[in-house]
Every structure is written in C-alpha cells, then in structure tokens.
Amino acid sequence: MAPRTLFDKIWDHHVVETLPDGTSILYIDRHLLHEVTSPQAFEGLRLAGRRLRHPEMTVAVVDHNVPTSDRTQPIEEPESRNQIETLERNVKEFGVPYIPLLSANQGIVHVVGPEQGISLPGMTIVCGDSHTSTHGAMGALAFGIGTSEVEHVMATQTILQRPAKNMRVTVEGTLGAGVSAKDVMLAIIGHIGTAGGTGHVIEFAGSAIRGLDMAGRMTICNMSIEAGARAGLVAPDDVTFEYVRGRPFAPKGDDFEKAVAYWRTLSSDEGAHFDTEVTLRAEDIAPSLTWGTSPETVLPITATVPDPAQEPDEAKRVQMQRMLDYMGLEAGQKIAGTPVDVVFIGSCTNSRIEDLRAAAEVAAGRKVADGVRAMIVPGSGLVKRQAEEEGLDKIFLDAGFEWREAGCSMCLGMNPDRLTPGQRCASTSNRNFEGRQGPGGRTHLLSPAMAAAAAVTGCLTDVRELA
Amino acid sequence: MDKFTVLSAVAAALPEANIDTDKIIPARFLKTTRRTGLGKHAFDSMRYLPDGSENPDFVLNKQPWRQAEILVTYDNLGCGSSREHAPWALLDFGIRCVIAPSFADIFFNNCFKNGILPIRLPREVCDALMADAAMGSNAKLTVDLPRQVVIRPDGQEVPFEIDPFRKHMLLEGLDDIGQTLKHEGEIETFESSVAKELPWMPKISFD
C-alpha cells in the first residue's frame, strides 16, 4: 500500500461506502451535542419519525448559553432558558447521555470531551460547532458540522463527505520564554491566512509541536478552523496515551493496552504525500496578538499596527482601514501600550488547567490595573476544582480577577458575559470578528499569559517584560 | 427542501472578503429553536444602525436589492462558526444563490442542505457580476443549474462546476438522510466489522 498520512488512515478506517461521484458515507464514533445547534435537529428527527441511532456514542452538555455566575438561581434570560430546557427534554426523549448544568463535569463541550476520555485517538468526532477541531489534538479526525448534518449523524451515525486535502504544518525548534501554543497558532494563521487551510486537514508536526502538552495541542487544533481548515490533527504519542489513561470513558486494563497498540499505528507514513507543506521555526515566534477583526491580522507584541496605504489591493486596503476604524487604532502606532477595558481568560481555546497556571504565574503577587475588568472562566467544573485545589483561585481573587463558573462565556456574546460598544478586550478566545464578544466590542486575541499581563498593566503588554 | 432549478433574480453585491458567520447572523440571535424567522437579523451589524433603524447605505436596504435572491461577494464567504443559522438567515431573507471566488467549507456544505446554491467563480468574474448587480432590476442574473451556467444580462453564459451528487440533490429537493438510510445495510455491516476489530471501543452512559 502507498504511504498514507494520518488523515488518510483515519479516513480509510471510517469509510462505510464511497458513492459513484466520490462522496463517502463516513462513520462517526462520537457525536457531541450542545443546546444551540441541536434543537432543530431533534425536531427534524421527531417530524420524520426517526430514532437516534446510537445514543451510547452521543453526549450532550450545555455550554454556550449558560451564565458563568451563580448557577443555583434559574436562568434569567427566557430564550437561553428555553434552549437549555429544550435540550433537557430532547436528551430524555432520545436517551442521550447528558451532563447537566449543575454537574461538576459540566463545561465547554471541547474541554469536556477529552477530559472525560470521550474523545480518543483514531476516532471520528463531530459536533455542531466549528471548534470541534480541538479534539484533533487527541489524534482524532474531528470537525464541526451544521445542524442538518447533526440530524444526519443522529439518524445514521454517518456523514456524507469528500476526502480533504492533506496539509502539514511543521514547527521545528524550541519556543522562547513567554511563547505558548497560542502564539504558535496565531503565527501559523498569520502566515497562511484565514483561508489558507480551506479544503485541507492540517497535521501539525515538528519538535515544537511534539514538545507541547495536550492542552497546548488542543489550543493549536482548536484554531485550525481560524486557518480555514476542516480539521487539525496531532499524531498520538506517549503524551497522548498518558493523558488518556484513567479517564472515565477511556478503555481500562487490558483493553487500554490493546487500544494503545492500535493507536501507535496512527501516524503519517514516511513518504506520505501532503498537498501543501508549511514550515515555521519556533525561534521566530514571539508572543503575538491580533490587531484587526480577522484572526489572520497577527502581530508580534513588539510590532506596530500596519498601514493600509502600503496595501496594493484596493478591496483589502478598504477592509484594513475599516478594521482600524472599528478597532480604534491608528496605522503605525505601537500595539503594546494600548489600554484595555476587559480581560477574558477562558473559551475552548484556552481554559484548561495549564492555561490557568500560565495566567496565575503572571498574576501572582500583582493586582489587576484600575478600571480593568478581568475574568477567569475555567473550561469545566473539573478544571475549576483542580485550580482551587492548587490555590490558583486565591491567586486570581487576591489580584482582583473574577473567578467564574464554566461555560463559553465572553467568547461569543450569547450569554450574559458581553462587551459593551467600544470596550477593548484582551481575550484568550479564538475569534475577533466585529461584534463577536458583544456589539461594538474590540477583541485582541492572545495567550493566557499575555492576557494576564494586560490585566495587571492595564494595557497590551509584552509578557516577557514582567518576567 | 425546495428544489433548485433555474433562478432569475436581482443580485446584490457585497464587495468584501471574509464575510464571517457572525456578520451574517450574530450569536445573540442563535437562541431560537426553529429554522425560520432569522431573515430580519441577517447581516444585522451592517443592515441596522446602533439605534436599530435601517442603515440607508446598506445595499440590502435599498430598492431593488431588498428583493435580491442572489448575493455576490469576494473570497472566503461564510468563514467562522458552523452555525447553520447563517444559511437559514439568508434563506429567510430570500437568498437562494451565493456567488464568490471561495467559501469556507462548513458554510458551503450548509448551503446545500438548505436548497441554497453556492457557486465558485473567479474573482474577475465576480467583479463583472457585481457590476451587473449594481444595475439593479434592469439586470437580473439567471442561474441555470441543469445547464450549470450563470447567464448575465447581456446574454453571456458563465459556466460553473458542481458535484454531480449535490446537483442531483438540489434539483430534486432531496433530503440527505433519506438517501443515506438506503445504505443502512452497509452501515450495519460496517458496525459489526468494527465491533470485531476494536472490541474495546467504549460506550458512553452516565447510568
């Protein structure tokens, strides 16, 4: 057999049948549900009189809509409450395993999946959420789907797909001080652009990627979608297997050893063909952030805001100027030193225990700057509990951060955590689109350490200066 | 799902790249449990001023483009979230066809599932179609799916590519699930072979 990529191997292993025009019926091992993109799919099943084929391969959790403050009171917002109650009725009717709001296991679906051992190497994993790419860090083929496809998976446990092209992004070398997985991914997106990965699945490789812990790999794969890719992947290795071992839904005992033997076959063969190859040197990556309203508008923190006048393409020039106006920035100004109003540390990109430790290291012994609202939103109830066991909550609270309950929170402004018009936010989330964090809100994407640095100085800051 | 065959309609030009799904339908409008009714929020931040009144400068607020059924944009249309609310909002507004040099993958898929035809055409062709669109109701575009051509007001025909399977599904207004369930036997065979090969595959239950 010709050498195959990791993507090819997982794909081939899940093809039920390929139709004459090249579309494949692809089997799905794990289907994750949340309250926002599932109600219409359940309704579709009900109207067609169809059953949900495999509830034991499906898990539902509430995350997008939920308040991250006190949860013992009923949810105030009637539409949010309705969406959550609708999910609760649906999981009951169709027998889907469900993690309720008040469970310690509740959290952001892309934090919960790996944490519970629901997402495992070699699997196909889908969810009605584009950041499903996160689970690619497990060495799984994981991608976001629309609600019609959610219904299709519910009814058939398969999806109709054509194979993606293969891209490999190799990052070799050693990351510098203050440089994290988030900076690596921002640098990659800045390099290839938000459509750079369109039609591709990206395998992340190289010594700098191998050197990352699982949380870092999840951050990288999470933002594959911001590079336009269908999915991101990291080949599973001992770091992965040790992460998986002992998790609630991981195979146990002999089964675990059998699973690992299979998982060890999951890497790209020597000589496998990649349609596109991109290489970055770890040493070239600085602590980075975005200046505009597209995730590709990436700058090292030491840089100045670009000048639209230098852009030859008229449509792009107009768009750059529009971004500067929206963001309230001037061409040529230093990005460092720009005052922030809000700091948000959380989201499926950066809300794991490792992310909170990185932020706490910067926050320890310092105070949130006057006039800045700084929020820490753990990715799950279990992350929150572990952070409290490690005393991180105390560090944050002493410094003046808010210590909140798990959920998507300010990443997408569909729960009470939102920016108000004109507010500038240093955010560890994944999208800086206009209005993403609330109408008129201004988002700078950056790492947890950089976000914490912004909180304690009150402005966008090179975290290395606080070392 | 409505069939898509031949559409002759007013086209609106949105000469921007990277029109993301938050722009097409902001997250705060995703709290519905229905597929319909989102048209009034389509392009909310571009269509309405901060006080909630219509932005008179936005193309879809002007005549005849309020009746537009075709949208023409630049690259990477529909990037961002997987929300199917984006094509639902477009459809509810009345859009049946979107034309751009490139699309984000999930949005592209989601369009087909809702009877919206996404067409990839080179940037210079999109420029020409945008110029046609600017002429308003005197210059309707015709999208002929059976023949796979866009017909410009001057009669020029621009051919486009589409997967045969997707074309068939659109022309007939078919539901994917019904099609896939015809292969239920193959799905069962696949499931039993995986159960033998990977017997350790865990099942999820909180009971």
Determine the pLDDT at residue A266. 98
Which whole number is the average pLDDT over A90-104?
A: 97
Amino acid at A127: C
Quick one: closest CA in B to A45, which residue?
Answer: B177
Which whole number is the average pLDDT over A176-199?
A: 97
Which of the residues B204, B205, B207 would you substitute to probe the A interface, choosing the one with the greatest number of A C-beta atoms within 10 Å?
B204
Average pLDDT of chain A? 97
Which of the residues B161, B200, B205, B207 would you substitute to probe the A interface, choosing the one with the greatest number of A C-beta atoms within 10 Å?
B200
Which whole number is the average pLDDT over A204-226?
A: 98
Contacts of B30 in chain A (CB under 8 A): 36, 64, 414
Phi, psi of B174 (to 5 degrees): -90, 155
Contacts of B35 in chain A (CB under 8 A): 40, 147
- pLDDT 10s digits, B10-31: 999 999 999 999 999 999 999 9
pTM higher than 0.80, yes or no? yes
In terms of Cβ atoms closer than 10 Å to its own Cβ (0-12, 13-18, 19+), residue A353 is buried
Judged by a CB distance cut-off of 8 A, whether residue A25 touches chain B is yes
Q: What is the DSSP string of A233-264?
A: E----HHHHHHHTT-TTS--THHHHHHHHHHT
Domain A286-466 grouped into CATH 3.30.499.10: yes
Compute the distance between CA of residue B9 and CA of residue B141 in angstroms, rounded to an integer.
6
Q: Is B102 close to A195, i.e. CB distance below 8 A?
A: yes
Which of the residues B1, B51, B73, B105 would you substitute to probe the A interface, choosing the one with the greatest number of A C-beta atoms within 10 Å?
B105
Q: Is B177 close to A413, i.e. CB distance below 8 A?
A: no
Examine the pLDDT at A70 and tell me if it is beyond 90. Answer: no
Quick one: closest CA in B to A97, which residue?
Answer: B205
Examine the pLDDT at B138 and tell me if it is beyond 90. Answer: no
Cβ-nearest to B105 among A59, A230, A262: A230
Determine the pLDDT at residue B92. 97
Compute the distance between CA of residue A175 and CA of residue B107 in angstroms, rounded to an integer.
35
Q: Is A194 close to B45, i.e. CB distance below 8 A?
A: no
Which among A121, A120, A122 has a CA at the least distance from the CA of A13?
A: A122
A414: left (phi over 0), alpha (psi -120 to 50) or beta: alpha
Determine the pLDDT at residue A21. 86
Which whole number is the average pLDDT over A346-369?
A: 98
Determine the pLDDT at residue A315. 86
Examine the pLDDT at B1 and tell me if it is beyond 90. Answer: no
Whether the ω angle into residue B101 lies within 30 degrees of 0, i.e. cis, is: no
Q: Is A59 close to B204, i.e. CB distance below 8 A?
A: yes
Residues 124-163 of A with CB under 8 A from B: 128-130, 132, 143-149, 151-152, 155-158, 160, 162
Determine the pLDDT at residue B186. 98
* A330-335 LR contacts (CB < 8 Å, sep 24+): A330/A305, A331/A305, A331/A306, A331/A307, A332/A304, A332/A305, A332/A307, A333/A304, A333/A305, A334/A303, A334/A304, A334/A305, A335/A289, A335/A291, A335/A299, A335/A301, A335/A303, A335/A304, A335/A305, A335/A460
Compute the distance between CA of residue A121 and CA of residue A123 in angstroms, rounded to an integer.
6
Amino acid at A347: S
**How large a percentage of chain A has pLDDT more than 90?**
96
**Which residues of A participate in the annotated binding site?**
348, 408, 411
What Å distances lie between residue A168 and A72, A285, A432, B98, CA to CA? 46, 18, 25, 31
What token pair was written down for A187? 């640098």
Where are chain A's structural domains?
A: 6-263, 286-466
Average pLDDT of chain B? 96
- Are A6-263 and A286-466 equal in CATH topology? yes
What's domain A6-263's superfamily in CATH? Answer: Aconitase, domain 3 (3.30.499.10)
Contacts of A294 in chain B (CB under 8 A): 18, 20
Spell out the domains of chain B, with CATH numbers in brackets: 6-174 (3.20.19.10)
Compute the distance between CA of residue A227 and CA of residue A167 in angstroms, rounded to an integer.
12
- pLDDT 10s digits, A246-269: 999 999 999 999 999 999 999 999
CB A420 within 8 A of CB A403: no
What Å distances lie between residue A375 and A196, A287, A346, CA to CA? 32, 21, 8
Cβ-nearest to B204 among A27, A249, A436: A249
Q: Which residue has the higher pLDDT, A210 or B137?
A: A210
Q: Is residue B175 very low, low, confident or very high in pLDDT (cuts 50, 70, 90)?
A: confident
Judged by a CB distance cut-off of 8 A, whether residue A251 touches chain B is yes
**Which residues of A participate in the annotated binding site for [4Fe-4S] cluster?**
348, 408, 411
Examine the pLDDT at B137 and tell me if it is beyond 90. Answer: no
Using the 8-state DSSP alphabet, how is residue A135 labeled? G
Which whole number is the average pLDDT over A323-350?
A: 98
- pLDDT 10s digits, A270-293: 999 999 999 999 999 999 999 999
In terms of Cβ atoms closer than 10 Å to its own Cβ (0-12, 13-18, 19+), residue B96 is buried
Residue with tokens 């013992």: A72
Residue B14: how many CB atoms within 10 A of its CB? 22
Q: What is the DSSP string of A197-231?
A: TTTEEEEEESHHHHTS-HHHHHHHHHGGGGGT-SE
In terms of Cβ atoms closer than 10 Å to its own Cβ (0-12, 13-18, 19+), residue B146 is exposed
Determine the pLDDT at residue A5. 98
Sequence-distant (6+) residues with CB within 8 A of B25 are: B38, B41, B42, B44, B83, B85, B86, B88, B89
Examine the pLDDT at A311 and tell me if it is beyond 90. Answer: yes
Q: Across the strands, what pairs with A380? A: A107
Which of the residues B18, B24, B127 would you substitute to probe the A interface, choosing the one with the greatest number of A C-beta atoms within 10 Å?
B18
Q: What is the DSSP string of chain B?
A: -----EEEE-EEEE--S--BHHHHS-GGGTT-SSSSS-GGGTTHHHHB-TTSSB-TTSGGGSTTGGG--EEEE-SSBTBS---THHHHHHHHHT--EEEES-B-HHHHHHHHTTT-EEEE--HHHHHHHHHHHHTGGGG-EEEETTTTEEE-TTS-EEE----HHHHHHHHHT--HHHHHHTTHHHHHHHHHHHHHH-TT-------
